[in-house]
Each structure stands twice: as C-alpha cells, then as structure tokens.
Chain A
Amino acid sequence: MTEEIIIAGFGGQGVLSMGKILAYSGIMQDQEVSWMPSYGPEMRGGTANVTVILSDERISSPILSTFDTAIILNQQSMDKFEEAVKPGGTLIYDPNGITRHPEREDIEVYQIAAAEEASNMGMNKVFNMVVLGGYLKVKPLVKMDNVIKGLKKSLPERYHHLLPVNEKAIKRGLEIIQEYKKN
C-alpha cells in the first residue's frame, strides 16, 4: 500500500505540522514515510504545501506531480491541485474562503468545515487537527492509536498539556466530514 498526499493551504494554518503528525503516525506503524515541503520565500499568510507519502515499501521519489489524496485549504491551492488528484482519488477541502468549488466528476470529494468547527471549539489553532480527523475518516490507513502516538512525538514536551484538546479536535473531524455533492 502506498498513499500519496498533498496538503495545501496558507502558511500559519498548520499545513506542515499536520503533515508531520501524519508522517510520524506512519512511522508508529512501521511504514516508510516522506515529508517534502514546498519551501521558498514564503511566510505566514503566503501559500504552503507539503507532500506526504506513507508506504509499505521503500519510497522512490519524494517529489510528486499527482496524488491519491489532496487536502485543500484555500482557493489558490484548489486552483493548483484539483487537477493533480489521480482519477479515482480523493479531494478533501474546507469550504471556508472557497469561491470555486471542485468540478471534477472522476474523483471523490469531501467537505469539512474545520475552520468553523475550530472556532466553535474556541481554539482556532486546532483547525489542522480537525482536518486531519476528517482525512482519517475517509482514509483510515493509520490507526488512531498511532496517530495519537505520532501527535505526541511531533509536539515538543512543553506542549504536551495540549494533547487532549488536539485529540478532541481529531475526533470532531471524524464526525463532521461530509461527502460533497454538486447541486
């Protein structure tokens, strides 16, 4: 099994750390993983994306142009990555700030109102964990135990008191993700 994922959005949304937690979760279940960020003169507010590969085999190229799953968190990323999803693949997006919804018919599309949910929880920062939860519902490739272990590994110890709220956000994500049907 190999799963090739792109996570794309604004810098500051937690795109890179969500990818890191996912990659660590893969390590926790003895998978090969790679985490390849777009890097450049990009700061908070600019675009940020990361390619994560989880595999049972040695990973050849960590740099990809098509993906099994795209997790899209802003309009620029929708414009850039909708076409990069492999036929039969999966697109997950947060409708917040999206002006043009996905149009492809040959992929599965899911919506997750993660920004709204995180705001309701009173913790905007757990936005990325809500999204991660949604992804895990649609693609249960990593076991929840391993995600929690991965989360613990990714967070520096001084933030470990925040583990429960992150876990809660992941669980909310599992509940609120919905298949997107075009009208």
Chain B
Amino acid sequence: MEKELRLMKGNEAIAEAAIRAGVDAYYGYPITPQSEVMEYLTEQQPEDRTGMVVLQAESEVASINMIYGAAGAGKRAMTSSSSPGISLMQEGLSYMAGAELPCVLLNVVRGGPGLGTIQPSQADYFQSTKGGGHGDYHLITLAPSSVQEMYDFLKISFELAEKYRNPAMILSDGAIGQMMEKVILDEQVPRRTEEEIIKDFPWASTGKKNRERNIITSLELDPAKQEQVNLNIQKKYREIEEKEVRFEKVQCDDAEYLLVAYGTSARLCQETVKLARDKGIKLGLLRPITLYPFPMKEIASMVEKQVKGVVSVEMSAGQMIEDVKLAVNGKVPAEHYGRFGGMIPSPEDILEFMEKQIMGG
C-alpha cells in the first residue's frame, strides 16, 4: 500500500497522530502557539472517526483533572498546552505520578517566565524533566525536532506512559508546532475495547466484577506505606533510565568537539556541524530524544574517548547544561550557549561560541 503523505504543521500532525493512535480523549484549553491542536481535532470530528472525545475544558486545571479521571478508567487521555498552561497543570501531574496513571501531554513551549511571549523557547526543561510539581517524580520526556517526530512521538509516548504507568511529556516549541514539513502517516489503530482495557490495565477502575476493588489515589497517610509507594515509583525510574534512553548522533564518530541540543536547537546545530566541517573542525551533535531519561552514559563515554569540549545549546538561560555537566563530570570543558525570551540563535553564532569559549582554550 502506498504511504499517505501530507504537508502538515507540527501541531496538526500530533492531533492526527492522536486520532490514529486510538486515543480515547483530548481535554484542552486554547493557548498560542499550540491552539491548532484542538482546532484540528474539532475540525476532524474524531467522534465520528473513532469515537474519540474532544472537549474544551473551562481551564487547564480542569483539563488535567479530566485526564486523571479518564486515565483512572484505563482510557488513553491527553492534553496539549503551552508553558503558562502547563504550569497550571502541575498539581494534577504530581497526583497522576503519585497514583501511577498514564497520560500524554504536549508542551509547545513559549518564552517566559510569566505570560512571556508566544515565540519559541526551551526554558521549560527543568519543569519537564525534574518533576515540575511537588514530590519525587519525573515525567518521561521526549523532544521532537521535526514534524514527523511530532507525529511519531505521540504513539511512543503513550506506549511508554502505559508501560510504566507514569505521565509522559512531549516537549516541543513554537517553531516545531507552527512549521510545516512532510509527514508519513500510518494506519488507524482502533481504540481499546472495554475488554482490552480490563486485560491490559488490571489496576484500572473498570467497574468491579469478580475482583477486588481497585483504588486509584495518591493519598497514603501511613509514612511506612507512603515510603513503599515511593520506593516502587523510584524502582520504575531506575528501569526507565536503564532501558528507555533514546538519542541521535550526527557526525559523532570522529568528533573532537560536541554539541548537545534537542528540538529546534538540534536543527540549528545540524547546520552548525556542516559549517564547522567545511572549516575542517571535527564537530559532532548528540541530540537527546528522551530528555528524561537523559543520555548520561552516552555523553560520558564520548568524553572518555576523543571529545575535548562540549557546548550545550538550548533556547534558555542554561538548563540542560546541568545534566550535560553531570555527564561530563568535569573531564573536559562544558558550557551553555543560548538565546531566550523567544529569540533563536543562529548556527554561525553557535559555531563562534564553540570556537572562542571551548576551542580557544
């Protein structure tokens, strides 16, 4: 069968991916630069296509709590928002991590802090990868750097979220959300039937029939029991860190210098690598695809071998650099380069920084 090819915005691609991945429900609240997600879904009327529910909630707080409810019933539920809206959802996300519920959320990041600007930014790295809300938890965080990946990562995120019973975050930005590229679409996956939900998610509140009552809660007042809950959650994170790290390497085989960048910054850095190679500089790019779990071991092993200096490029004041420095562990110089507040660095500026701050000594 010939593959279905379309020119789509990142925001539209992830909406189409949601329908085709058999997602049961989308609850959202509009905010630029991601409003196309709900626009596209409403236009497509997925209720007719697959029975998927699309609902504009009264707020972001309502959206995430609707998702809590749907996920508790074993449904595939998702939302999308942009930075200020994601901040509003943090309480709900912490509760979901505590109650071990899967869901997927998309953050099309804009410049902050506060209401900030609607232009692209990557300043929500800490919030996404280090928990965001209260308590000891992480979101499984994937960072698409193309429209095709916006499409592909939706399904992967649900698979990871469901496998580990933990919320997953797709950390995008205004550029990837608004840009159009070609997308190869896959075939429609049917939504899970009630029987399949009972079989796949024995923990879900599916109506008590011939089994013990399932309780979905993040509340456990007995500290000894609450510690055990935490130990179980942490055990999952160790497994995730062991098994689920994803990354892409560009011209890294002989690289003496290394850029680390994700999302839009990784696209800019691909150009920087070309510029550097034209000048005879052996520069490579490591693109983390999962930001949590972060490719610590890979960076550490590259530094052990031939890499003499690292620049972490991020449209922020320097967040991912903290993980990069942990991986580098002081063995070689590692610095952050970035623009923020909606400004985008140029590939030339990135190269100049590398030459002056790292290669220049």
- Is A24 close to B, CB under 8 A? yes
**B186-199 toward A: CB 8 Å interface, digit per residue (1/0)?**
00000000000000
Give the contacting residue for A60; candidates B118, B174, B182, B274; CB below 8 A. Answer: B274
Q: Which residues of A contact B346 (CB under 8 A)?
A: 65
Q: Which residues of A contact B347 (CB under 8 A)?
A: 60-61
Q: How far is the CB of A14 from chain B (nearest CB, A)?
A: 16
Task: Please give the number of chain B residues whose Cβ is less than 8 angstroms from any Cβ of chain A in the complex.
Answer: 22
Interface centre among A36, A39, A40, A154 (most CB of B within 10 A): A39
Distance A37 CA – B347 CA, assembled complex (angstroms):
19
Give the contacting residue for A35; candidates B32, B119, B180, B270; CB below 8 A. Answer: B180
Q: Which residues of A contact B118 (CB under 8 A)?
A: 39-41
- Is B156 close to A, CB under 8 A? no
B180 and chain A: residue at smallest CB distance: A35
Interface residues of B in 153-200 (CB under 8 A from A): 174-175, 178-182
Q: Which residues of B contact A60 (CB under 8 A)?
A: 267-268, 270-271, 274, 347
Distance A61 CA – B7 CA, assembled complex (angstroms):
17
Measured as residues with beta carbon below 8 angstroms from the partner, the interface class of chain A is: 20 to 34
Q: Which residues of B contact A40 (CB under 8 A)?
A: 118-119
**B216-248 toward A: CB 8 Å interface, digit per residue (1/0)?**
000000000000000000000000000000000
Distance A36 CA – B270 CA, assembled complex (angstroms):
17
Interface Cβ pair total, 8 Å cutoff: 58
* Contact between chains at A62 and B179 (CB < 8 Å): yes
- Is A23 close to B, CB under 8 A? yes
Q: Which residues of A contact B344 (CB under 8 A)?
A: 63
Distance A60 CA – B264 CA, assembled complex (angstroms):
10
**A33-75 toward B: CB 8 Å interface, digit per residue (1/0)?**
1111101110000000000000000011111010000000000
* Contact between chains at A39 and B182 (CB < 8 Å): no
* Contact between chains at B5 and A61 (CB < 8 Å): no
Distance A141 CA – B209 CA, assembled complex (angstroms):
65
> What is the interface of chain B mostly: helix, strand, loop, or mixed?
mixed
B177 and chain A: residue at smallest CB distance: A39
Q: How far is the CB of B49 from chain A (nearest CB, A)?
A: 17
- Is A172 close to B, CB under 8 A? no
Q: When A23-B7, A61-B347 are in contact, do A34 and B179 touch as well, CB less than 8 Å? A: yes
**A119-159 toward B: CB 8 Å interface, digit per residue (1/0)?**
00000000000000000000000000000000001100000
**A9-31 toward B: CB 8 Å interface, digit per residue (1/0)?**
00000000000100110010000
Distance A154 CA – B180 CA, assembled complex (angstroms):
12
Q: Which residues of B contact A27 (CB under 8 A)?
A: 5, 7, 182
Q: Which residues of A contact B5 (CB under 8 A)?
A: 27
Interface residues of B in 327-361 (CB under 8 A from A): 344, 346-347
* Contact between chains at A35 and B181 (CB < 8 Å): yes
**B250-275 toward A: CB 8 Å interface, digit per residue (1/0)?**
00000000000000100110110010
* Contact between chains at A63 and B264 (CB < 8 Å): yes
- Those 10 A-B pairs whose CB atoms lie nearest each other, nearest first: A60-B270, A35-B180, A60-B271, A61-B271, A36-B179, A61-B268, A61-B267, A39-B178, A27-B182, A34-B181
Given A39-B33, A61-B271, 11 other A-B residues pairs in contact with their CB atoms under 8 A: A23-B7, A33-B7, A33-B182, A37-B179, A40-B119, A60-B268, A60-B271, A60-B274, A61-B347, A63-B175, A63-B264
Which residues does A use to contact B, with CB under 8 Å?
20, 23-24, 27, 32-37, 39-41, 59-63, 65, 153-154
Which residues does B use to contact A, with CB under 8 Å?
5, 7, 32-33, 118-119, 174-175, 178-182, 264, 267-268, 270-271, 274, 344, 346-347
30 A–B pairs (Cβ distance < 8 Å), ordered by A:
A20-B180, A27-B7, A33-B180, A33-B182, A34-B179, A34-B180, A34-B181, A35-B179, A35-B180, A35-B181, A36-B180, A37-B179, A39-B118, A39-B174, A39-B178, A40-B119, A41-B118, A59-B181, A60-B267, A60-B268, A60-B270, A60-B271, A60-B274, A61-B267, A61-B268, A61-B271, A62-B181, A63-B264, A65-B346, A154-B7
